[in-house]
Structure 1
Amino acid sequence: MKKSVLRSCVSAASLAVMTVYAMPALAQDAAATEEAVDSLDEIVVTASGRDKTQLNSSVSVTSINSQLIEDFKPSSESELYRMIPGIQVAGTAGPGGNSNIAVRGLPVATGGSPFVQIQEDGLPTVLFGDIQFGNNDYWTRFDASVANIEGVRGGSAATYASQAPGAVLNYISHTGEKEGGYIQLNKGVGYAETKVDFRYGGSINDTLTYHVGGFYKSGRGPLRADYNVSDSVQVKANVTKTFDDGKGYIRFLFKYADTQEPNYTGAPALATLSGNKVTSLKPFPGFDGRKGSNYSTLNQSFLIVNREGDLERVKMSGITTNAKSIQNQFHYEFSDAVSVDNNLRWTEMSGGFTAPFFSATRTSSLIGSTLNGQTVASVRYANGPKAGQAYTGTFYNSNTNVRTNIRDIGSFANDLALTGKYDTGAGLLTARAGWFYMNQKIEMDWHTNKAFSEVSGDNPAMLDLFNAAGARLTAEGIGGFNNNWGSCCARDYELSYTDNAAYVGLDLDNDNFVIDGSVRFEMLKAAGWTIAGSNTEFNTPVTYNGVVTQIPTITADGAREVLNYGRNYTAWTAGALWKVNGDTSVFVRASRGGRFNADRQTVSGKFNADGSLNQSGVIPSVDFVNQYELGLKNRGGLLGGRYTIELTLLKGNFKRSDYEPTKTAQCPNGGCVIDTKYKSSGAEFYGTYRNGGFSLTANATYTKAKRAAAASTVYTRADGIPDLSYTVAANYDVNDMATLGLSATGQTSAIDGAGIEYPGKAVFNGVVRVRPIENLELGMQVYNLFNTFDFRGAGGITDLSTSPIVLGGAPALGRTYTASIRYSF
């Protein structure tokens, strides 16, 4: 075993061992302990037949409750997913989202989460997890209305959900069965951020329950931007009517969200490079990514040339979302043998992605270069206290100011299922048949400006470039409109995707075993159009400080690409489970799921003039994922307490073909098709332990992920995937008066697209909650207790000529304190 893997294993194991041996002998009633911990008795409701406990389900499934999430205090939605085994994500993209979410060693080839579906109450928020500039982690926020998040990996995720061959992550709402709620005020300590969480639910009468919850958040964030980068509100409510005969219910769910949250776009760092390994990683002088960011009041707004061809000033607002949805759930049991379920949601949704991307580049490379057809002779501050002075920094930020206007990403979805149960004498046979429909709109326009700014984590200024005659070549640090990534990305499109899926499943269950299988028939259609820019630039005059500068501009004026095609394909899964005894089960499973390649196929030359797929576009229009699993689930007593263990051995493979608009190691000039194939093997683990007031939860994912070019048989290590990632959380309740908690999330090393290996580390978090009087709780949470500088394997080398070298990436937040006060009622 590699030393880095061993060190991380020891780190995780040490936390678990220390907390176990630190337990005082305060074991309480064993029956109460067992009831509190045994999640294996919970019914699986996500991507399943909905009538099996976790112990007796032949799939890998984990449920994490809201209290565990609050104790862990994740810094972003994606870091929350690190609590679920099998999900591999850096978690450093920030609260706005835009994370690359991998699963079980199946990497993300170009961006987003192509094989992972995020659901709210059983329906996807967006049909595709890797919509360009619309990843699925934009549209869902954990809040007080959520009771638990259930994660199903592999297996039935491929057949009971669409576009989710890797995993389904389902946010399940409180529905008011238990009377009560709370209001909680959270304040940043040492930084300006305020958040209010609230929820309340209960009964209106014997057959009617309700629940409402949500949050409000505002502030400059833990990276201490000089203006409010967070300004968000979300409210979710539901009401449930149980039928008088007790055979079912009808539920209406409502959601309103208007959010603005930052996307952390990276920071520079210093390090030593030995061969292809990065060591001695430390913050860059003047820009410590643990506590500083590229968001600046000096770039708080900027000009774009909009889709009408006019100059427009837009706010640097990070990732914004606006969503309104109405959902209806219906369940009715016609008899003990036959039942029907229907789940329907209409969503009106839009948003935007507006961020200052970061990439440190040597300033000396600017002098003598050509911009706007002229030679750059000098660089000066464009604004701020040094406006007009020469810029003498060794590095500047050469990356884009990007604005994507997500005009419409709304949808309509419906999932209808009929279930029948029959006693065959050899066991209970359950048949389930259903039809899923979803229409997904994707309408956007992209604006990627060529931009120049100072490298600083404290209100960086914009930079203007000048020729030898003193003529300014830029305006407010902008050197081009919509042209930073070339003509491909001055893009405007209106797309619509319709997914019809018929599915059927059979399940035979007796006292000794379960055998099940299911098939899903996907029928997808794509319609709409895309227009990219042409290769012809024109100049847009911009007046800044009384001077008119001609700025090169590209607009979406190229050839119209029409989409009018469909693809049908089949997904399947089969599994068997042996009930060893009442506390142990063993299962095996094989599955083949598909993922439709949606808007990432556009602007790639894969369509005929009539909108049909040409020969190069048919095969990559669907990516298939094959997975094989062998699992063990067990529970029992240990040292006077109770434990649960879930262990799954894994193997999988898939192929990908995507158009990549940006510059990467695989696409050095930007705007190319990347054809790759991947395979992985490994294991995932999830365990819990409770003894009196002490509780411990741990998960780990170990994978060997490899990649190869589509036509090659030579596999190399896949980038972005650590061999081992893990999360451990321990809590101790001192009677009803206080709770002490410690958690850690970490990983071993990972490589970037160029094969450079970055070290893996663990970030520790702590929580203290005190209840001085009934219904009142005071809390203090600390994220990154030891202020660890951790890139989590996401980076790229900027400059090899210095010692130490300069590189860039997205570090985890530094030590961050949050105080809270909660009143329960």
Structure 2
Amino acid sequence: MTTPLKPTFAKNRLAAAVTSVMLGVSFTAVAADETKAPEDDAFETIVVTGTVGGRTQIESAVAVTSIDDEVIQNFKPNSEVELFRLIPGIQANGGNGPGGNANIAVRGLPVATGGSPFVQIQEDGLPTVLFGDMQFGNNDYWTRFDASTARVESVRGGTAATFASQAPGAIINYISHIGDVEGGYVGLSTGIGYDEKRVDFRYGGSASDSVIYHVGGYMKTGRGPLDDGFNTSESMQLKANLTKYLEDDESYVRFYLKAADTQEPFYTGSLAYANISNNKISDVRPYPGMDGRSASNFSTLNQSFLIVNNEGGVERVNMSGITTEALALGNEVHYVMENDIMVDNKMRWTDMSGAFTEPFHGPGMTSNVIGSTVNGSVVDAIRYANGPMAGELYNKPYIDTNTNVRTDINDVGSFVNDLTISKEFALDGATLNARAGYFYMNQKIAMDWHTNRNFREAGSSNPAQLDLFDAAGNQLTANGLAGFNDNWGDCCARVYDLEYTNTAPYVALELELDDFIVDGSVRRDTIDASGYTVQSSGESFDTVIDGVAIPTLMADGKEEYPDYSESYTSYTFGGLYKFNEDTSFFVRTSKGNRFNSDRQTVSGKIQPDGSLTQAGRVAAVDEVNQHEIGVKNRGDLGETDYTVEFTLLKGDFTQSNYEPTSTPACPNGGCILDNEYRTVGFEFYGTLRWDALSVIANATYTDAEQKPNGGTWGPANDIPELTYAVTSSYEISDQIRVGLNMSGQYGNRNGAGVETENKPIFGGNISYRPTPNLEFAIIGQNLTDEFALRGLSGVVDADNGVISAQPVLGRNLSASVRLLF
């Protein structure tokens, strides 16, 4: 049984402090306490953060969404990108797995290179990393949903550009439980038919009459629904906070702690069969020997491999997927001064590092390897290098020639602080709310790359390594290894230690006149770049492995020492008209910006003195323009209550960037991309409650186009025309509850313009509480076991209908038991 905490001197505001609202919708550029709306009226949720004054959601001229933790748990996302499918406007392609590395677009603004350049992921109102598209360091590596999270909230467009840096498209904010409601739980879950064990826990309560606290987290181990042949999941996370309320009942000081040590796989795809006609594929089905619904490209025969490190030594590393280590300490102060001037300050120091160690999937025709020149000799034969068929000839039609990659993420630590001062002024017949703030963040990015050329079996689960031989029988590779640090040429044997400091003053004003509310805000960002980058000279030497000379590149060549500063201005203006207490209309226009950080390096855009070339200055900052018109309505149809938010969208941006790795826009790596993009569409978010039934639905439609430098307009890459998700819950009795969810996408094309087939994916859950403190549950994904794609890497063999794709997980079930207290 949980009871709200009420310290002895608390008044109404503290009694209504931050709570979880299942169907709530709110703005969260900076997280803070909020007043809970009645459960049957989500639009009455008070929006007090990211705007200049506390208003209800229906009175706020922004597109915002909040997803409650219970909804997320019942949806059972296997990664953060799957969780984001519950948020309108967020278009996350691919089925990347729990490690991350997803390309996260927003409102049809494509991801031209990788990561999430226009979307910032926050925890409790501060960014986990400053840039969402760091190379081999995307922002979805560093945040994990767990029991400590009360809800995940998002704002798209508009004030995201002025209340946060590097977030012109959207902010996604993970808001923690704070212990204002006493209680918690311990939950144990296990995969049914696959190896995965997880413990989730949280507890919050009162430490004294004026102090509340919360602690939560998870531990996880196993091979996951895609049997990788060995444990690829070994993760833990602990988050805690403590809040001290001051004697005015409104001011407080809060302290945060986070410790994480995670290892999770990034799934890189599999072969599949499909019908291919007129640049469209249909009837997608598993490839014999490797069903991408249940098998991955990880293998017991490739669970470690050799690299040549920066000192020139040979080193063996584990195929550990994406690993992270983080320790974060934070502090938040909310202080009400005389004359109702409010001061808010948030601070976080983070020590963070990790590694990216993956077998990239890049199948091709075996016939294209036979007769080709590898390491100076013509390939005459291919043999199994290990496994039960070691030494035998390899005669399968397809072969995986992509890299075994190891990137050491030596340091992505940061220090961030956001200070704001706000006040409400009563004018003659109007109210003016004003806020001024100053943001500071220092972000380190230190990495070294090891991208080995590699050959392995394609179209088989647990793929073996393959060796190449010339006509004289000379071995050209060593256990599949063909080259150290040279898979993408001499660009990508590199080491760098970079530092970026982002400062940003910002000001916002909001004026209310009867049924009209108008607001505007402006932000001035300045980025200072420093550090160094070293890449290969292009001159290789041989490293002898098992008697085979393997060409090797080192980061021993061109050096760059960036030393430059860029400043830019973002702004937004909006207005809302309250038609009546149940309907409002809003309009908004905004110009946001984001800074290209480490992707500027090794691109010819940094001069010897550290300044940017003219092309570098053009490419340093991407400008995003967005316009939106929206309506919010609530009402009832008989005994059914509903809320609806519908927003029309239009946006554009121009990007000039360097892409060193292989992507759909840059198949062979090493491309300078100078493209224009534009999009129109809509977002929909709705809730419905009828007796014991509740339903939440979202959909995003975009007509996204791109124009390559000197080219013509055409469909944008990897942006589905339509994405959607529906979740529902029905309480059969006080003890039994069931749920069903559906998600999908339509009209997605890869970089070659090939459109993929689309199928909806269904999930479900059922829970049983024999007592108020004990709950048993079964949660399932892809209940119909569809072979459905979230991304298409490419067509491998058009004549025989073979593709390389990223299917969603096949049918998988987990069982759990929770003890609530």
Counterpart Cα distance in 2 of 1:536 and 1:798: 32
Counterpart mapping for 1:358-369 below 5 A: 358-369=361-372
Counterpart selection for 1:789 from 787, 790, 798: 787
Counterpart mapping for 1:281-430 below 5 A: 281-335=284-338, 337-430=340-433
* Pair 764,621 (structure 1): closer, same or farther in 2 beyond 3 Å: same
Q: CA deviation at 1:581?
A: 1.5
Counterpart Cα distance in 1 of 2:668 and 2:813: 42
Given the alignment of the two structures, is residue 195 of structure 1 paired with residue 191 of structure 2, yes or no?
Answer: no
RMSD (Å), alpha carbons: 1.3
* Pair 669,460 (structure 1): closer, same or farther in 2 beyond 3 Å: closer
Corresponding residue for residue 678 of structure 2: 679
Corresponding residue for residue 96 of structure 2: 93
Counterpart selection for 2:722 from 712, 721, 724: 724
Scaled by the length of structure 1, the TM-score of the pair is: 0.94
Counterpart Cα distance in 2 of 1:554 and 1:255: 39
Corresponding residue for residue 763 of structure 1: 761
1:513-554, Cα deviation, whole Å (9 max, x unpaired): 1110000000111001111112211100112xxxx1110011
Corresponding residue for residue 45 of structure 2: 42
Counterpart Cα distance in 2 of 1:500 and 1:572: 16
- Equivalent residue letter for 1:748: Y
Q: CA deviation at 1:336?
A: 5.2
Say how many residue pairs are matched: 786
Given the alignment of the two structures, is residue 814 of structure 1 paired with residue 810 of structure 2, yes or no?
Answer: yes
| Secondary structure, aligned partner of 1:536 | coil
Q: CA deviation at 1:665?
A: 4.7
4+ aligned runs moved over 6 Å, structure 1: none
Q: CA deviation at 1:711?
A: 4.1
> Quick check: 1:46–1:150 contact (8 Å CA) kept in 2?
no
- Equivalent residue letter for 1:572: Y
Corresponding residue for residue 235 of structure 2: 232
Corresponding residue for residue 5 of structure 1: none
Corresponding residue for residue 78 of structure 1: 81
Structure 2 gap ranges (5+): 1-35
> Quick check: 2:123–2:175 contact (8 Å CA) kept in 1?
yes
| Secondary structure, aligned partner of 1:758 | coil
* Pair 767,457 (structure 1): closer, same or farther in 2 beyond 3 Å: farther
| Secondary structure, aligned partner of 1:620 | helix
Corresponding residue for residue 734 of structure 2: 736
1:291-342, Cα deviation, whole Å (9 max, x unpaired): 0001011100000001111101000000000000001000011135311000
- Equivalent residue letter for 1:537: S
* Pair 155,225 (structure 1): closer, same or farther in 2 beyond 3 Å: same
- Equivalent residue letter for 1:662: T
Q: CA deviation at 1:34?
A: 8.7
Moved more, 412-421 or 68-77: 68-77
> Quick check: 2:524–2:567 contact (8 Å CA) kept in 1?
yes
Corresponding residue for residue 577 of structure 1: 576
Counterpart Cα distance in 1 of 2:279 and 2:422: 56
Scaled by the length of structure 2, the TM-score of the pair is: 0.94
Counterpart mapping for 1:659-698 below 5 A: 659-698=658-697
Q: CA deviation at 1:374?
A: 1.2
1:263-308, Cα deviation, whole Å (9 max, x unpaired): 0011111111111111111111111111000101110000000111
Q: CA deviation at 1:39?
A: 2.3
> Quick check: 1:158–1:164 contact (8 Å CA) kept in 2?
yes
> Quick check: 1:46–1:151 contact (8 Å CA) kept in 2?
no
Counterpart selection for 2:69 from 66, 69, 75: 66
Counterpart Cα distance in 2 of 1:482 and 1:380: 23
Q: CA deviation at 1:46?
A: 5.2
Counterpart Cα distance in 2 of 1:211 and 1:668: 47
Corresponding residue for residue 773 of structure 1: 771
- Equivalent residue letter for 1:789: F
Q: CA deviation at 1:44?
A: 3.0
* Pair 356,469 (structure 1): closer, same or farther in 2 beyond 3 Å: same
Counterpart Cα distance in 2 of 1:116 and 1:710: 24
| Secondary structure, aligned partner of 1:725 | strand
Corresponding residue for residue 614 of structure 2: 615
> Quick check: 1:46–1:152 contact (8 Å CA) kept in 2?
no
- Equivalent residue letter for 1:536: E
* Pair 95,37 (structure 1): closer, same or farther in 2 beyond 3 Å: farther
* Pair 375,91 (structure 1): closer, same or farther in 2 beyond 3 Å: closer
Q: CA deviation at 1:673?
A: 0.5
Moved more, 360-369 or 106-115: 360-369
> Quick check: 1:293–1:457 contact (8 Å CA) kept in 2?
no
- Equivalent residue letter for 2:721: D
> Quick check: 1:749–1:792 contact (8 Å CA) kept in 2?
no
Given the alignment of the two structures, is residue 277 of structure 1 paired with residue 280 of structure 2, yes or no?
Answer: yes
Counterpart mapping for 1:406-805 below 5 A: 406-543=409-546, 548-712=547-711, 714-802=712-800, 805=801
- Equivalent residue letter for 1:561: E
Q: CA deviation at 1:49?
A: 3.1
Counterpart Cα distance in 2 of 1:191 and 1:111: 31
Q: CA deviation at 1:47?
A: 3.5
Counterpart Cα distance in 2 of 1:426 and 1:368: 83
1:701-727, Cα deviation, whole Å (9 max, x unpaired): 011000002444x31111111111100
Counterpart Cα distance in 2 of 1:305 and 1:194: 35
Counterpart Cα distance in 2 of 1:130 and 1:800: 33
Q: CA deviation at 1:91?
A: 4.8
Q: CA deviation at 1:509?
A: 2.0
Counterpart Cα distance in 2 of 1:46 and 1:82: 24
Corresponding residue for residue 255 of structure 1: 258
- Equivalent residue letter for 2:811: R
Counterpart Cα distance in 2 of 1:550 and 1:44: 64
Q: CA deviation at 1:666?
A: 3.6
